[in-house]
Structure 1
Amino acid sequence: MSPSSSRPPAASASSSCSPRTPPAGGAAAVGCCGGCSTPSWPPAPTAEPRHGPPRSPGRLHRARARKPRRTPARPARCGGPDLRAWSRTAIAGDLLAVIRHLGGPAVLVGHSVSGGAATIAAAQEPSLITAVVELAPFTRKQSIHLGDLRVKRFRQGTLRLLGADAFGSVLLWRSYLDVAYLGVKPADWDERLGRVDSLLREPGRMKAMQGMGRSAPTDAGAQLGGVRCPVLVIMGTLDPDWADPHAEGSAIVNALPSGLGRREMIGGAGHYPHDQFPDQVVSLMLGFLRSAAARA
């Protein structure tokens, strides 16, 4: 998103924000929103696995719309024609297709699995990515230590995730989401959970979620050293996916080339900080992007 005189002009977008699909058979459905009528920044594709509560990126987009305007888009692989390819490398290909379609370069904003995909995309096509924001990302090889299970939220989240994956249980996935949103929940929480039920009962959806859960982030971890743009990692202090979210965020930053990474924590946030505290996340993003622009 950082301006550069040498980059191609940002893609224009109509204020109608109509969904689009990239050419050449890309699997990512694209929705343009958040003040896209005056794109003074390059596009900012925002990728989030679509098994969480629907509309969770929406609060982030609305918060961004109250700030200086930009052109966000939202790829969603499991909303496209291919529910089978859930590797981060496959999602990275979708993200790059979106950027080429909208006109790059761009900032990538990736959540969870898509945070790792953003890392891969940035390493593969550095000329197309000016900065990366990773929200509670799975971007490196994971390991669990026996002592981690002493942390209640981690124990609860891990057991529910494992159960949802092993048994294809919608009930256990909903139970995990309750832990992932410790503290602040959206006002329409019950409505969202009903939508999750409906989505995961559609043919192929649960298998896609299971495939996502079983995909190891080793492909993303292998690319961390090849990233050439600034990276912001935002973690929630109550994220149940890690016993120590602070340490996980720091490990990602430390694996990047020196000076490129920055970690920030959102107090009281779980695995969806951008949905629970959208204004705080946007404030961190804008400060990071101004700093990245000044360095460019």
Structure 2
Amino acid sequence: MTEYLDVAEGRIAYDVTGEGPLIVMAPGMGDLRQSYRLLVPELVAAGYRVATFDIRGHGESSTGWDSYTTTAVGSDYAALIRHLGGPATVVGLSWTPDSAVVAAAELPEEVTGVVLLSTWATAPQPGALMAALQRLVVRTPALWAMFYRSLYKGPKPADFKDYVKALKANLREPGRTASFVAVALPESKDSGAYRARVHQPALIVMGDKDPDFDDPRAEAEKYASDLAGSTEIVLIADAGHYPQAERPAEVAAAMLPFLARTAGAAGA
């Protein structure tokens, strides 16, 4: 069931499932919180309370925000943790790992661990033609849907066709494409400096066939080198950019030992 949290600039849509230690998860840009729909049941069954939320301007969260940066979304993680009651593990995907890191840095006593999926260590540097194509893609829901499909290199979920249809429909709602464009601006990734302030344990999970990276492990190792705490890296075989949907059982298997060490006893 969708719930809402009012923050200074707008309203964040979220849902909570399960009982136990809290996990707070946000999807990447141009996506919905339901991106985690196959992973959440695995975590709930293991004894965790899982909150997923739509980032600013996406899904059921409001549009018209003054800021769409990774730092701003990090403040939404923090607000939701305070609202639901920590401590919590924060999970980010693709664009949102740097937002999860902001929350970890700002709430060192309330965030016990950080899980980063398909994370970018360095901003991509496209040429002029590719940059122009990217600007067109984020402004055109049908083109984004085509690109989104191309990032799946492992098994597609049974409901994948319907999910992409819902994603396109959401982006066509008033204000949502404009929000996506704002999130996709290079300057929106403004929180890299927070990484050095994260002393909590971290887990980085990458698909070994992720087409966004020439070398997914090398990208993960670079990100790990920026963090101040200990970091584990797990590569998910036969998965692309969305391992939590392509290989949810394998991602859960990577997360659960980490959560057992960092989040407290499941079911507590």
Deviation for aligned residue 1:208? 1.3
Aligned identity (percent) is: 30
Shift of 1:217: 6.3
How many Å separate the matches in 1 of 2:200 and 2:223? 14
RMSD: 2.5
After superposition, the Cα gap between the structure-2 partners of 1:105 and 1:124, relative to the gap in structure 1 and judged at 3 Å, is same
8 Å CA contact retained: 1:236, 1:265: yes
One of 143, 150, 165 as aligned partner of 1:172: 143
Classify 1:213/1:178 alpha carbon distance in 2 versus 1 (closer, same or farther; 3 Å).
same
Q: TM-score, normalised by structure 2?
A: 0.87
One-letter amino acid of the counterpart of residue 287, structure 1: P
Match of 1:222 in 2: 193
| CA-CA distance at 1:114 after TM superposition | 1.4
TM-score by length of 1: 0.79
Q: State the distance in 2 between where 1:182 and 1:226 align.
A: 34
Aligned to 1:112: 94
Query: 2: distance between equivalents of 1:266 and 1:280?
Result: 7
SS in 1 for 2:4: coil
- Corresponding residue for 1:12? none
1:279 counterpart = 2:257: no
Check whether the contact 1:57–1:274 (CA below 8 A) recurs between aligned residues. yes
2:14 alignment counterpart: 30
Q: Which amino acid aligns with 1:89?
A: T
May I ask how many residue pairs the two structures share in their alignment? 258
CA distance in 2, matches of 1:109, 1:53: 14
2:119 aligns with one of 130, 134, 137: 137
**Correspondences of 1:40-59 after superposition (within 5 Å):** 41=21, 43-49=22-28, 51-52=30-31, 55-59=34-38
The answer to whether structure 1 residue 236 and structure 2 residue 207 are counterparts is yes
1:265 partnered with 2:235 = yes
User: Which has the greater radius of gyration?
Assistant: 1
5+ long unaligned stretches in structure 2 = none
CA contact (8 A) 2:29 2:95 kept: no
Tell me by how many angstroms 1:277 deviates: 0.7
Contact 1:236 1:266 in 2 (8 A): yes
3-state DSSP of counterpart to 1:49: coil
Given that residues 141 and 216 in structure 1 are in contact (C-alpha distance below 8 angstroms), is that contact kept between their aligned partners in structure 2?
A: no
Aligned counterpart for 2:156 among listed residues 172, 185, 190:
185
Query: Unpaired runs of 5+ in structure 1?
Result: 1-17, 147-155
Distance verdict in 2 for CA 1:110–1:103, change over 3 Å? same
Contact kept? 1:53, 1:195, Cα under 8 Å:
no
